[in-house]
């Protein structure tokens, strides 16, 4: 789709090119900065016209989208699917967890935009991170945990989203509109969130449990399972000590290490397969992710709780790799995921809550009523988020390896 | 006609040397390009240090990572790996040798079929086989259910996530790697040699110890290599079938690369593991050969 | 050997075969499990099989895996057999180093090999993963196994046999083809079988060298650990065993594998 250009806009174009070159910015980034800064609506169409060479949305549409974003009414944009100035590339490559999208999400996207989507799966999040860090695979979209987004950005692995192509972002609940790990949702959109707490088999454990101490109970030696995740394991110990789960104080971490060392002889195994451990019956008390417990259908006596000392709230995001070959399609797909019905379909399929306020009416009531997946507001507010620790992550990992390697 | 007048040693010598090049160069060249070179990159990484975000910096090359990798805190994991690999190798050889012998002596026309049958279970997904072992060994699994049904126990015996389940799983996984090379060597043993020794009044046991065993030494060596060496680096079996106490050094290397994002330290530890293993193996083989063959 | 010992040995071997196949029996049984998980028996169902055949992702993964395995097995068997033979028969100055080099790929932790190849290909060739890259990686770790097995067989093999053939007028290639090769054939076959098992089931090295759309079956299967390995995966393994058994059975019926493996030369 070519837009006719006249003299004036060509001059504007040249100025713009120089402006952008000086600041090493892409047009897309400039547009998103302006949109985020809430600049006058009048400016946006002009710049959009200048940026017509790069695919970022036709002038008229973007003005409408900007306007509806400005007045903040979610209902208008609940199901917006923008038509970009240049058509999306014919393909899209996604790297994701298996079974992490609703069944019709990709087919409906493919039909709407005539894009062929290839989705590959990884078995281990850290392996995915290691591979992506070396540009392995050649994907467009990945789903990093929120705690990793700042590091990915600093390493230059992600490209800013084209906010103009993602009008559905107004569907996000207010606390997700500009999360701490990515102000302004410049590089990422939230995908799913979850809680970490303790699950137990009420058929084997008679007493009522309400604390992280449950994972340290001598009488259940050999039947306790802990998550094989350095941050989560330390978080459990730090909660018992009343410290922040993001502490970098050596004294705190040494105390946590001592607790974990005390715990180790009681632990049956460290694993990320909490679903398996609980379903098989080998774990009577299990450090677990809430939404996973929801999936333990083979054993109805399993219960989940967030300990009184607090729990962890985690989330993951959708992002576009800087080396992505199909950025337009990628942005459109991210917008597609934020559609109210699509988001609800994802939640209904995988049993995790999304950040999408507009999706709530379409979510299975059984999921909404399950406190392990969808805890009450008061509980959510009491949860701590794991934050990116930068180089201080070393303090955790060296202690973790010492713990795991030790006899 | 002139060929036949040359002395046989010279002729054999030429063909041997030329054959040597033809035989060795392709394989060695492949390994040089696709194994040694990439490993060289890892060596470089091991001399660097990690940056703040999990990348690698190569500005100040030094040996720090090697001294860090040699810390005593990793020793128990290394001992675990050695223990498991050694036990697995011994068990696989002990359990596999009779089977290889039986297939060779009594397999007749069905020998190859029997060998393929040994291999067949391993042409399936490792993960599903391991899950099957978990189903067998779990607290509510097959073994415990049978024991309880016969009234032999009133509480499940903890079989999974123990040393026992790890060694069982590893031995199972390496059986074909032991049986096949053992068979290949046993099969070319001339049975007349054994008959001759029996004729000379050697007992069955002596015939085995002094004739069969030494002559099948190359097969035993191959089987031992094919079992012990990969077993040291096996981290999946101890991870899935093992528990909190069965951490191996391979798992630590894995952790260093993945969750610790410390590629330089992981590389250094990996190298140390490789060097120690190969040295130990070569040493053991030399000793073993000397003991058995004399 | 006495008849009792023979029977005892046979019974023992049977026990070992039972041991080897018991997880397979469980695996096949649970492919009919009416549960989404692989843990508790919840009832009988045939549903997983049609679901498997309709699952495009699995079929693609199987296709990639077979492609890679065929290439890897053929190449590594050829390279490895030559290597094993050469090392067994020829002594040269660097043979100690060559022997050590042979053992290194087997001892290298998978993650080290995977990441080293990823770095190698991405830094030197700008490649982001592909079926070719996976195949190269597989050949690299399979060669050693084949070489060790062939060397085990070739070691102590009398070079005089080949010399005798030359004396009788055979060319170098002819002597090799008609004397040496048949003598090491069982080892080559064993090496090939081992290489196939290694390639078919590799995860870590493959993951780091796979690109878009080149997922293998192990990648597909292991990715399901997170939310549950459904019995569909058991069905895959059951079908693979069925197909392999049928293929082997058919081959045997039509005369393959029969006859003594030993050649006339040894008798």
Q: Is C17 on the interface with B (CB under 8 A)?
A: yes
Residue C81: pLDDT over 70 = yes
Q: What is the DSSP string of C107-169?
A: HS-HHHHHHHHHHHHHHHH-----HHHHHHHHHHHHHHHHHHHHHHHHTT--HHHHHHHHHTT
Q: Which of B20, B96, B132, B248 has the highest number of chain C CBs within 10 A, making it the mutation to test binding with C? A: B132
**Residue A23: its pLDDT value, please?**
54
**Residue C226: its pLDDT value, please?**
81
Residue B176: pLDDT over 70 = yes
Tokens of B70: 């040699």
Q: Which residue of C has its CA nearest to B92?
A: C16
Q: Which residue of B has its CA nearest to C85?
A: B23
Among A126, A268, A405, whose Cβ lies nearest the Cβ of B252? A405
Among A268, A398, A405, whose Cβ lies nearest the Cβ of B76? A405
**Residue A200: its pLDDT value, please?**
96
Q: What is the DSSP string of A69-126?
A: HHHT-HHHHTT-----SSPPPSEEEEEE-TT-S-TTHHHHHHHHHT-EEEEEE-S-HH
Among A184, C123, C246, smallest CA distance to B116 is for C246
Confidence of residue C74 (pLDDT cuts 50, 70, 90): very high
Among A123, A137, A299, whose Cβ lies nearest the Cβ of C222? A123
Q: Which of A125, A275, A282 has the highest number of chain B CBs within 10 A, making it the mutation to test binding with B? A: A282
Confidence of residue B38 (pLDDT cuts 50, 70, 90): very high
CA–CA distance, A272 with A196 (Å, rounded to integer): 12
Q: How far is B111 from chain C (nearest CA, A)?
A: 8
Return the partners of chain A (3 or more C-beta pairs < 8 Å): B, C
Phi, psi of A287 (to 5 degrees): -70, 120
Residue C88: pLDDT over 90 = no
CA–CA distance, B62 with A76 (Å, rounded to integer): 60
CA–CA distance, C165 with A33 (Å, rounded to integer): 82
CA–CA distance, B43 with C116 (Å, rounded to integer): 9
**Residue for token digits 């001399």?**
B47
Among A91, A25, A1, smallest CA distance to A328 is for A91
**Residue B202: its pLDDT value, please?**
72
Q: Which residue of A has its CA nearest to B74?
A: A405
Q: 3-state DSSP call for residue A243?
A: coil
Binary contact (C16, B95; C-beta < 8 A): yes
Q: How far is B162 from chain C (nearest CA, A)?
A: 18
Contact A332, A197 (CB under 8 A): no
Residues of A in contact with C227 (CB under 8 A): 97-100, 275, 295, 350
- Percentage of chain C with pLDDT > 70? 94
The residue among C92 and A7 whose pLDDT is bigger is C92
**Residue B217: its pLDDT value, please?**
87
Q: Indicate the range of A71-80, A336-345, B175-184, C222-231 predicted with least confidence.
A: A71-80
Among B85, B135, B91, smallest CA distance to B237 is for B85
CA–CA distance, B125 with C141 (Å, rounded to integer): 19
Residues of C in contact with A97 (CB under 8 A): 223, 226-227
**Residue A29: its pLDDT value, please?**
54
Confidence of residue B188 (pLDDT cuts 50, 70, 90): confident
**Residue C94: its pLDDT value, please?**
75
pLDDT tens digits along B61-72: 889 999 999 989
Report, as an integer, the average pLDDT of C175-186.
Answer: 83
Binary contact (B233, C109; C-beta < 8 A): yes
Q: Indicate the range of A223-227, C94-98, C102-106 predicted with least confidence.
A: C94-98
The 3-state secondary structure of A58-70, one letter per residue: CHHHHHHHHHHHH
Q: Which is it for strands A285-289 and A188-201: parallel, antiparallel or unpaired?
A: antiparallel
Q: CA torsion angle for B208, B84, C103, C106 (degrees, to 10)?
A: 120
Q: How far is B225 from chain A (nearest CA, A)?
A: 26
- Percentage of chain C with pLDDT > 90? 49
Tens-digit pLDDT string for chain A (407 aa): 333 444 444 445 454 554 554 455 555 555 555 444 444 443 444 444 444 433 333 333 333 333 333 333 334 345 677 777 678 889 999 999 998 999 999 999 999 999 999 999 998 999 999 999 888 889 999 999 999 999 999 989 999 999 999 999 999 998 898 888 999 999 999 999 999 999 999 999 999 999 999 999 999 999 999 999 999 999 999 999 999 999 999 999 999 999 999 999 999 999 999 998 999 899 999 999 999 998 888 889 999 999 999 999 999 999 999 999 999 999 999 999 999 999 999 999 999 999 999 999 999 999 999 999 999 988 888 899 999 998 899 999 999 999 999 86
CA–CA distance, A12 with A373 (Å, rounded to integer): 52
Residues of B in contact with C163 (CB under 8 A): 8, 12
Residue C146: pLDDT over 80 = yes
Give the relative orientation of helices C56-89 and C95-107 as an angle to the nearest 10 degrees.
160
In A215-369, alpha helices (H): 230-240, 250-263, 274-280, 290-293, 327-337, 340-350, 365-369
Report, as an integer, the average pLDDT of B180-209.
Answer: 82
Give the relative orientation of helices C131-154 and C56-89 as an angle to the nearest 10 degrees.
40
Among A286, A293, A294, smallest CA distance to A270 is for A286
Q: Which of C108, C137, C173, C218 has the highest number of chain B CBs within 10 A, making it the mutation to test binding with B? A: C108
Binary contact (A130, C208; C-beta < 8 A): yes
pLDDT tens digits along B242-270: 999 999 999 999 999 998 989 999 999 99
Q: String of b and e for A57-78 (b: at least 16 CB within 10 Å)?
A: bbbebbbbbbebbeeeebebbb
Return the partners of chain B (3 or more C-beta pairs < 8 Å): A, C
The residue among B166 and C247 whose pLDDT is bigger is B166
**Residue A274: its pLDDT value, please?**
92
Q: Which residue of C has its CA nearest to B229?
A: C107
Q: How far is C102 from chain A (nearest CA, A)?
A: 27
**Residue B152: its pLDDT value, please?**
87
Binary contact (B77, A129; C-beta < 8 A): no
Tokens of C88: 């067994």
Residues of C in contact with A134 (CB under 8 A): 115, 118-119, 122
Tokens of B89: 């190798």
C-alpha separations of A345 from A108, A341, B235, C55, C56 in Å: 12, 6, 38, 20, 21
CA–CA distance, A345 with A71 (Å, rounded to integer): 27
How open is the CA angle B229-B230-B233, to the nearest 5 degrees? Answer: 100
Q: What is the DSSP string of B36-68?
A: IHHHHHHHHHHTSEE-TTS-EE-SS--SHHHHH
Q: How far is B168 from chain C (nearest CA, A)?
A: 11
Report, as an integer, the average pLDDT of C225-247.
Answer: 88
How many inter-chain contacts (A to C, CB under 8 Å) are there?
95
- Percentage of chain B with pLDDT > 70? 91
**Residue for token digits 């060597």?**
B185
Tokens of A131: 């591979």
In chain B, alpha helices (H): 8-31, 37-46, 64-69, 75-106, 111-119, 126-137, 142-149, 163-186, 191-199, 204-207, 213-215, 217-233, 236-241, 249-257, 263-293
Q: Is C66 on the interface with B (CB under 8 A)?
A: no
Q: How far is A97 from chain C (nearest CA, A)?
A: 7
């Amino acid at each position: 789709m070519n837009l006719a250009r006249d003299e004036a806009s060509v001059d504007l174009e040249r100025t713009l090119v120089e402006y952008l070159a000086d600041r090493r910015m892409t047009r897309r980034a400039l547009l998103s900065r302006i949109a985020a800064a809430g600049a006058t609506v009048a400016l946006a169409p002009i710049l959009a016209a200048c940026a017509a060479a790069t695919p970022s949305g036709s002038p008229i549409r973007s003005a409408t989208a900007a306007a509806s974003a400005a007045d903040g009414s979610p209902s208008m944009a609940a199901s917006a699917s923008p038509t970009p100035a240049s058509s999306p590339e014919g393909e899209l490559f996604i790297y994701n967890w298996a079974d992490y999208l609703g069944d019709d999400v990709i087919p409906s996207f493919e039909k709407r935009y005539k894009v062929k989507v290839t989705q590959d799966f990884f078995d281990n999040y850290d392996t995915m991170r290691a591979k992506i860090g070396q540009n392995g695979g050649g994907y467009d979209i990945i789903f990093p945990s929120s705690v990793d987004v700042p590091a990915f950005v600093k390493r230059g692995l992600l490209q800013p989203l084209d906010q103009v192509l993602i009008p559905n972002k107004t569907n996000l609940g207010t606390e997700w509109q500009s999360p701490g790990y990515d102000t302004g949702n410049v590089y990422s959109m939230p995908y799913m969130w979850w809680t970490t707490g303790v699950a137990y088999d009420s058929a084997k454990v008679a007493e009522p449990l309400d604390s992280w101490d449950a994972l340290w109970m001598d009488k259940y030696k050999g039947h306790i399972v802990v998550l094989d995740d350095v941050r989560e394991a330390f978080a459990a110990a730090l909660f018992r000590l009343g410290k922040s789960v993001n502490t970098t104080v050596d004294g705190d971490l040494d105390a946590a290490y001592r607790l974990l060392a005390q715990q180790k002889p009681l632990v049956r195994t460290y694993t990320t397969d909490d679903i398996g451990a609980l379903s098989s019956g080998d774990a009577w008390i299990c450090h677990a992710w809430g939404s996973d417990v929801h999936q333990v259908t083979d054993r109805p006596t399993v219960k989940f709780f967030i300990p009184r000392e607090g729990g962890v709230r985690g989330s993951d995001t959708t992002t576009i790799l800087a080396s992505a070959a199909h950025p337009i399609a990628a942005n459109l797909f991210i917008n597609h995921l934020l559609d109210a019905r699509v988001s609800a379909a994802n939640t209904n399929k995988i049993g995790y809550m999304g950040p999408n306020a507009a999706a709530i009416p379409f979510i299975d009531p059984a999921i909404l009523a399950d406190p392990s997946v969808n805890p009450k507001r008061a509980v959510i507010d009491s949860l701590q988020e794991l934050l990116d620790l930068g180089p201080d992550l070393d303090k955790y990992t060296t202690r973790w390896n010492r713990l795991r390697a030790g006899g | 006609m002139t060929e036949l007048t040359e002395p046989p040693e010279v002729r054999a010598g030429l063909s041997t040397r030329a054959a040597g090049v033809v035989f060795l160069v392709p394989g060695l060249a492949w390994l040089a390009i696709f194994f040694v070179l990439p490993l060289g990159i890892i060596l470089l990484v091991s001399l660097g240090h990690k940056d703040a975000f999990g990348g690698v910096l190569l500005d100040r090359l030094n040996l720090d990572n090697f001294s860090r990798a040699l810390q005593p805190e990793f020793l128990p994991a290394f001992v675990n790996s050695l223990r498991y690999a050694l036990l697995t190798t011994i068990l696989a050889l002990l359990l596999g040798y009779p089977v290889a012998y039986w297939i060779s002596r009594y397999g007749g026309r069905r020998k190859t079929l029997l060998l393929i049958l040994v291999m067949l279970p391993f042409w399936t997904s490792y993960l599903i086989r391991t899950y099957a072992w978990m189903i067998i060994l779990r607290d509510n699994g097959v073994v415990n259910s049978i024991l309880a049904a016969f009234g032999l126990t009133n509480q499940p015996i903890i079989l999974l996530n123990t040393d026992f389940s790890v060694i069982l799983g590893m031995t199972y996984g390496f059986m074909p790697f032991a049986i096949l090379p053992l068979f290949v060597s046993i099969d070319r043993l001339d049975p007349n040699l054994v008959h001759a020794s029996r004729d000379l009044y050697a007992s069955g046991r002596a015939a085995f110890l002094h004739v069969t065993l030494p002559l099948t030494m190359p097969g035993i060596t191959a089987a031992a290599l094919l079992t012990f060496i990969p077993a040291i680096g096996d981290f999946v079996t101890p991870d899935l079938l093992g528990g909190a106490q069965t951490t191996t050094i391979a798992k630590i290397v894995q952790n260093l690369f993945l969750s610790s994002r410390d590629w330089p330290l992981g590389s250094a530890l990996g190298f140390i593991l490789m060097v120690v293993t190969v040295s130990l193996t070569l040493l053991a083989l030399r000793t073993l050969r000397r003991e058995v063959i004399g | 050997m006495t008849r009792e010992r023979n029977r005892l040995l046979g019974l023992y071997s049977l026990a070992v075969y039972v041991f080897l196949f018991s997880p397979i029996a469980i695996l096949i049984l649970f492919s009919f499990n009416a549960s989404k998980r692989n843990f508790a028996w919840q009832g009988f169902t045939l549903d997983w099989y049609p679901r498997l055949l309709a699952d495009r992702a699995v079929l693609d993964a199987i296709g990639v895996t077979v492609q890679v395995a065929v290439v890897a097995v053929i190449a590594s068997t050829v390279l490895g057999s030559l290597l094993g033979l050469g090392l067994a028969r020829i002594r040269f100055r660097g043979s100690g180093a060559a022997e050590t080099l042979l053992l290194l790929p087997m001892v290298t932790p998978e993650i080290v090999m995977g990441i080293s190849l990823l770095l190698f290909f991405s830094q030197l060739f700008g490649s982001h993963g592909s079926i070719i890259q996976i195949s190269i990686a597989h050949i690299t770790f399979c060669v050693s196994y084949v070489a060790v097995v062939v060397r085990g067989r070739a070691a102590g093999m009398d070079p005089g046999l080949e010399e005798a053939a030359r004396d009788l007028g055979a060319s170098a290639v002819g002597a090799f083809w008609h004397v040496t090769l048949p003598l090491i054939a069982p080892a080559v076959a064993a090496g090939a079988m081992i290489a196939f098992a290694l390639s078919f089931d590799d995860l870590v090295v493959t993951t780091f060298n796979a690109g878009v759309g080149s997922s293998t079956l192990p990648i597909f299967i292991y990715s399901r650990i997170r939310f549950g390995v459904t019995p569909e995966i058991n069905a895959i393994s059951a079908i693979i065993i069925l197909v392999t058994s049928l293929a082997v059975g058919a081959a045997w019926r039509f005369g393959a594998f029969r006859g003594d493996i030993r050649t006339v030369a040894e008798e």
